[in-house]
Structure 1
Amino acid sequence: MAGVCHICPETGEYESLNAIHTAVPELCPRPIAHGDLQDGGYFLATEFLQLHGSSFSRQQSSSRENTLALKLGKLHSQPAPSDGRYGFPVTTCCGSTPQDNSYEDTWSSFFVNRRLLPILNACIESNGSQPELADHVNLIIPIAKYLLSRLSPPSSQPVIIHGDLWSGNQCNGSIPPRIPNSTPVVFDPSSCYAPAEYDHGIMTMFGGFDRNFWEEYEAVVPRGEPAGEYEDRVSLYRLYHTLNHFALFGGSYKSSAIGIMRELQRKYRDRIDGS
């Protein structure tokens, strides 16, 4: 595969697959090797993955116990090997955007310092000066710190997350000879050690995960407390991916991101100003 993320992209995907495979071996192909090519590209070799179609088609799933919701719930239920810190051992790429995963002691500091501020800079690098966008991000930072610092254990504890789990990065597939029958699998991860709900941002951005999926998943991984702020926390996570899409593709993603921030400002401005 050819890559446009020039900061060791194959290392990030290799280590992401390795982390997911170590936790839930039946959820993704095992990575085998990676490296740079002489022409400036890179390669990533994994177990052979034969794709069979959408994992949401229950007829194609090998068993009721192997649904994507239950497998993802299993992944999101296992503590990350990070001593309680948030981050990842290597840089990863979400699309072609490099992500600095240097460890932080709190989830709020990781999200602000390693996701929100860097993606604003990426938007400016790709699209030129963005004073309106920068103003909104500066206003949303204290709201992000407020909301994410209130997420309580066990939901605040870091687990292995996929990092780019939109519906196009999951499918039914087999991994012969290890997994000969069709089962839900994921690929193209951009992992880090973060609260499970961080994955929900990209999962709710484009649809594809229906009510049945979420009911089954939340039976394993309940919504974090305060549950009344769950949707707003997910809006923050979705904001990151919306800004990433603006950095990558431009267009209407900017107005979508500003819309998310305006709604959060409307709801939380008074609480922040009064604290």
Structure 2
Amino acid sequence: MSEAIHNLLNEPKQSTVSISGDFPLDENVLEEFPSDTKVLSANRFGTSAWTITGRITVEHSDGANARYFLKCAAEDRGRIMMEGEYNAMSELYKTMPNFVPKPVAQGKCRLGNPDTYYFLSEFIDMNDRIPEPNQLCSKLAQLHRDSISPTGKFGMQVTTCNGRTPQAVNWESSWTTFFINLLRYVVDLDFEVNGYWKELAHLEEKIFTRIIPRLIGALESDGRSIKPSLIHADLWEGNTGTSYETGDIYIFDSGAFYAHNEMEIGDWRCNYNKIHNKVYTRTYLRYYGPSEPKEEWDDRNRMYSIYYNVIYSVNHMDQGKAVRQS
């Protein structure tokens, strides 16, 4: 998919509209704006392994200028990615509009070979420095605490993606069942893309049949229950930014679903993530303390990190075998 989508950028089709800048805009994207909107420019912006991205500057009917961020991806995988991101960001925005750029639209480009899909959102000019722990963690804890699952269950109404990989997020009443399904899906994908590994398969089967039912199951036993909280689900430093104008931290590129809130920060344990600095975990726990049984928090955190490491291996096939060895 990566080669196909980058070819679209390097070889603009005649079906795109001629506008100042080096990013080709499709007519269906233009129709997302009011008819009296004047598009001033469209330029490449940012880098992405699996999509092409651009910044659109427009002038509205009142004379005010505004900027938008556009992301495009090709083929059916691109459709799943763009639909998933739009729905994930919309769900996040509904609960925390001061924490994510406002999503605007998603759809299919009018013409393109291969079929191409887009996601359009508000553009916020941000730096890419490591986020300040207190602001990030306080907002994150508020998101987890205030969000309400529309079904009262764990999951998401559409398939969302972590990177280029779809996630198994069908609704489940039991967090233990949901997590087993979530992890087993990416474990199977890992074997598919990176090859079968007998010793790893044996270990993972023990995880599914013995460790998860005991460790994660304890959250839902002896009268305990877990609130389904909306999580970003791919929260590393590259998916955060700090507004140059206000200093506010924003999160984006989400693969959100409703989960145990502790699932979110399992990602911070992974070595590829610069937020694995323990100050972030300690700060988060000040705002949202561990679930019961508290003495098993670290073991649960390690278990949740396995999901992120496995899906990282799936996303980075050229590095997958090395990731599994680490």
Any idea what SS the aligned residue of 1:32 has? strand
Q: Using CA pairs under 8 Å that are at least 6 residues apart, name the structure with larger relative contact order, 1 or 2.
A: 1
2:233 to 127, 148, 163: 163
How far is the alpha carbon of 1:87 from its aligned partner?
A: 0.6
Q: Is 1:9 aligned to 2:77, yes or no?
A: no
C-alpha deviations, 1:41-82, integer Å up to 9, x for none? 221100112112425358xxxxx8xx1111111101124223
- Which residue number corresponds to residue 91 of structure 2? 19
AA aligned to 2:178 is F
How far is the alpha carbon of 1:167 from its aligned partner?
A: 1.6
1:139-158, aligned counterparts within 5 Å?
139-141=206-208, 142-151=210-219, 156-158=226-228
Distance (whole Å) between structure 2 residues aligned to residue 172 and residue 55 of structure 1: 9
AA aligned to 1:41 is T
* Structure showing greater Rg: 2
How far is the alpha carbon of 1:36 from its aligned partner?
A: 2.1
How far is the alpha carbon of 1:182 from its aligned partner?
A: 2.4
Change in CA separation of 1:31 and 1:79 when aligned onto 2, cut-off 3 Å = closer
- Which residue number corresponds to residue 126 of structure 1? 193
Distance (whole Å) between structure 2 residues aligned to residue 212 and residue 237 of structure 1: 18
- Which residue number corresponds to residue 107 of structure 2? 35
Q: Give unmatched runs, 5+ long, in structure 2.
A: 1-70
For this pair of structures, how many residues does the alignment match?
243
Percent identity at matched positions? 28
Alignment RMSD = 2.2
How far is the alpha carbon of 1:144 from its aligned partner?
A: 1.0
Change in CA separation of 1:242 and 1:216 when aligned onto 2, cut-off 3 Å = closer
How far is the alpha carbon of 1:214 from its aligned partner?
A: 3.4
Distance (whole Å) between structure 1 residues aligned to residue 268 and residue 73 of structure 2: 23
TM norm structure 2: 0.69
Q: Is 1:192 aligned to 2:257, yes or no?
A: yes
How far is the alpha carbon of 1:171 from its aligned partner?
A: 1.6
Asked if 2 retains the 8 angstrom alpha-carbon contact of 1:11 and 1:34, the reply is yes
Deviates more, 1:124-133 or 1:219-228: 124-133
Distance (whole Å) between structure 2 residues aligned to residue 29 and residue 54 of structure 1: 17
Distance (whole Å) between structure 2 residues aligned to residue 81 and residue 200 of structure 1: 19
How far is the alpha carbon of 1:210 from its aligned partner?
A: 4.0
Any idea what SS the aligned residue of 1:12 has? helix
Distance (whole Å) between structure 1 residues aligned to residue 132 and residue 263 of structure 2: 25
Deviates more, 1:5-14 or 1:70-79: 5-14
Change in CA separation of 1:150 and 1:57 when aligned onto 2, cut-off 3 Å = closer
Asked if 1 retains the 8 angstrom alpha-carbon contact of 2:72 and 2:82, the reply is no
Distance (whole Å) between structure 2 residues aligned to residue 129 and residue 195 of structure 1: 30
Change in CA separation of 1:119 and 1:57 when aligned onto 2, cut-off 3 Å = closer
Change in CA separation of 1:137 and 1:195 when aligned onto 2, cut-off 3 Å = same
How far is the alpha carbon of 1:7 from its aligned partner?
A: 5.2
Distance (whole Å) between structure 1 residues aligned to residue 137 and residue 289 of structure 2: 12
How far is the alpha carbon of 1:207 from its aligned partner?
A: 3.3
Distance (whole Å) between structure 2 residues aligned to residue 173 and residue 107 of structure 1: 35
Q: Is 1:225 aligned to 2:292, yes or no?
A: yes
C-alpha deviations, 1:151-192, integer Å up to 9, x for none? 268872111000000121112026xxxxx5220010100010
1:103 to 151, 157, 171: 171
- Which residue number corresponds to residue 77 of structure 1? 145
Distance (whole Å) between structure 1 residues aligned to residue 274 and residue 226 of structure 2: 24
Normalized per residue, the structure richer in helix is 1
Change in CA separation of 1:190 and 1:53 when aligned onto 2, cut-off 3 Å = same
How far is the alpha carbon of 1:136 from its aligned partner?
A: 1.4
Q: Give unmatched runs, 5+ long, in structure 1.
A: 59-63, 175-179, 257-275
